[in-house]
């Protein structure tokens, strides 16, 4: 199996997506509060692209870390 197929399989297995999603929700919420909290409090329109990227980034980083750790431990 090629490295990319193996990495994708690992990214979608054994609870990786659920843990990455939990991290994205927690970290994304904290970062959105820091970055757009004043806009939200004042009832102004939020930047939806920033909001989505702020949640997507910790999801991708968490998934990447899990996949790399599993690839490394598998040798």
Phi, psi (rounded to 5 degrees) for 2 = -70, 160
- For 46, the enclosing helix (H) or strand (E) is none
- The radius of gyration of the chain from alpha carbons, rounded to an integer in Å, stands at 16
Q: Which domain holds residue 60?
A: 3-74
pLDDT for 2 equals 87
pLDDT at 74: 78
8-state DSSP, 75: -
In 1-68, beta strands by DSSP E: none
Whole-number Å distance between alpha carbons of 59 and 25:
8
Q: Give residue 34's pLDDT.
A: 96
What does the pLDDT read at residue 75? Answer: 66
- Extract the residue ranges of the chain whose pLDDT is less than 70: 75
Q: How many domains does the chain have?
A: 1
């Amino acid at each position: 199996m090629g490295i990319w197929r193996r990495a994708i399989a690992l990214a979608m297995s054994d609870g990786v997506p659920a843990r990455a999603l939990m991290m994205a929700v927690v970290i994304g919420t904290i970062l959105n509060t820091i970055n757009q909290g004043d806009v939200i409090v004042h009832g102004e329109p939020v930047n939806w692209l920033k909001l989505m990227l702020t949640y997507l980034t910790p999801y991708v980083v968490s998934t990447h870390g899990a996949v790399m750790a599993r690839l490394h431990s598998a040798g």
